């Protein structure tokens, strides 16, 4: 009997439960037992696991979050933790691990794979910045939430003749800002990939007023920063175990700067974790399910050290190494489409 351990690491994301369900159900068809590892890599270090049965995954498909819990634990920060993790893999008789996560969780998976531990990765993040896959699940849900928020902000912005700044997630990549911004008809989209020029933003917004449009919507990714600023604006300097600070504040920065430059009221909405919570869209449920099925199939074929990925309409397997080599930043052709509408 093959025993598969499954874990979810990093920030949660709609669709995690759909993957877990698919791994358990497909695994059962292949004759596997599945163990749920609690709270990402922390569960393997601490030996916190539980059996996952068909019954435990009943009804979880549409549920947001993760029934397994998550954490940003990095076992490689400490050699003793790597030893504990290896000991627990043996202790619980785990033959293969399905690691569902973004750059950090998959980075750990890749290191463990290089140590000879059988691992398969599943790409997750609302940020959509994992390389080698066209999309991660969770992204579509976040985009839907942000688009709805922009639509709502539009009507109130128009009524009050205000500039509305919407701060959205996106640490290293501005996928959410770009796609939701296009979908919501944003008048300016600021992303981490392109440091912004406040004078240029001001010019675009002024051009709208000159055309008689007395309101504007500016979408800014939390990781965006003005030209010349060395680091993104953070809520605090405290870092997680992978060295990331908690971002936040660029929306307020923009409000202050734009109010200085334009004689108009500017308001800020920070969407924050609302973007990560709640039920996944149908698209994300299907993608997550396809990923989970493919991950269990890879284990059956003993294809370890790989990550399932979406390329075109196909689910494929790519080396974990390739997936974690760099981040997938925004397609500049797509961003170019967004910028056609600035100043209009």
**What does the binding site for ligand F6P look like in residue numbers (CB under 6 A)?**
10-11, 102, 125-127, 169-171, 222, 246-247, 276
Write down the least CB distance from residue 84 to ligand F6P, Å: 23
Contact 32, 2 (CB under 8 A): yes
Write down the least CB distance from residue 166 to ligand F6P, Å: 14
Write down the least CB distance from residue 113 to ligand F6P, Å: 22
**In this chain, which residue has its C-beta nearest to ligand F6P?**
11
Rounded to whole angstroms, the Cα distance separating 220 from 174 reads 8
Rounded to whole angstroms, the Cα distance separating 238 from 245 reads 6
Catalytic residues: 127
Write down the least CB distance from residue 67 to ligand F6P, Å: 18
Q: Which is nearer to ligand F6P, 162 or 171 (CB)?
A: 171
Q: Which is nearer to ligand F6P, 171 or 208 (CB)?
A: 171
The DSSP string of 87-137 is HHHHHTT--EEEEEESHHHHHHHHHHHHTT--EEEEEB-TT--BTTSS--B
Q: Which is nearer to ligand F6P, 7 or 293 (CB)?
A: 7
Write down the least CB distance from residue 151 to ligand F6P, Å: 22
Q: List % helix, strand, coil for the chain (3-state, nearest 5).
A: 40, 20, 35
Number of other residues whose CB lies within 10 A of the CB of residue 295: 29
Residue 43 in tokens: 């569960």
Write down the least CB distance from residue 11 to ligand F6P, Å: 3
Residue 161 in tokens: 């003749």
Rounded to whole angstroms, the Cα distance separating 248 from 203 reads 25
Q: Which is nearer to ligand F6P, 118 or 174 (CB)?
A: 174
Q: Which is nearer to ligand F6P, 62 or 277 (CB)?
A: 277
The DSSP string of 251-284 is HHHHHHHHHHHSSS-EEEEE-GGGGT-SPPPHHH
Rounded to whole angstroms, the Cα distance separating 43 from 9 reads 10
Q: Which is nearer to ligand F6P, 146 or 266 (CB)?
A: 146
């Amino acid at each position: 009997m093959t025993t598969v351990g499954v874990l979810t690491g990093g920030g949660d994301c709609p669709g995690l439960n759909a993957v877990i369900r698919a791994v358990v159900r497909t695994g059962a068809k292949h004759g596997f037992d599945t163990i749920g590892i609690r709270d990402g890599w922390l569960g393997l270090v601490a030996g916190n696991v539980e059996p996952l049965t068909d019954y435990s995954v009943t009804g979880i498909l549409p549920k947001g979050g993760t029934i397994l819990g998550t954490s940003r634990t990095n076992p490689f920060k400490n050699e003793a933790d790597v030893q504990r993790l290896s000991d627990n893999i043996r202790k619980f008789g785990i033959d293969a691990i399905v690691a569902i996560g973004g750059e950090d969780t998959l980075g750990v998976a890749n290191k463990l794979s290089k140590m000879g531990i059988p691992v398969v990765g599943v790409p997750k993040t609302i940020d959509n910045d994992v390389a080698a896959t066209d999309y991660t699940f969770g992204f579509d849900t976040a985009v839907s939430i942000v688009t709805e928020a922009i639509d709502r902000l539009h009507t109130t912005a128009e009524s009050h003749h205000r500039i509305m700044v919407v701060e959205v997630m996106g640490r290293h990549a501005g996928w959410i800002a770009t796609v939701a911004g296009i979908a919501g008809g944003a008048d300016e989209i600021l992303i981490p990939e392109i440091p912004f020029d406040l004078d240029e933003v001001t010019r675009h917004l002024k051009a709208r007023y000159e055309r008689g449009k007395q309101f504007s919507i500016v979408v800014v990714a939390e990781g965006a920063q003005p030209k010349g600023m060395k680091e993104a604006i953070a809520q605090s300097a405290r870092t997680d175990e992978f060295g990331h600070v908690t971002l936040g504040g660029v929306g307020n920065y923009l409000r202050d700067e734009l109010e200085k430059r334009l004689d108009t009221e500017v308001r800020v909405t920070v969407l924050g974790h609302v973007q990560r919570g709640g039920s996944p869209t149908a698209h994300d449920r299907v993608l997550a399910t396809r990923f989970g099925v493919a991950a269990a199939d890879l284990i059956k074929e003993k294809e370890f050290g790989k990550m399932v990925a979406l390329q075109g309409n196909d689910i494929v397997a790519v080396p974990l190494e390739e997936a974690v080599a760099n981040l997938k930043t925004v397609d500049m052709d797509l961003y170019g489409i967004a910028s056609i509408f600035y100043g209009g």
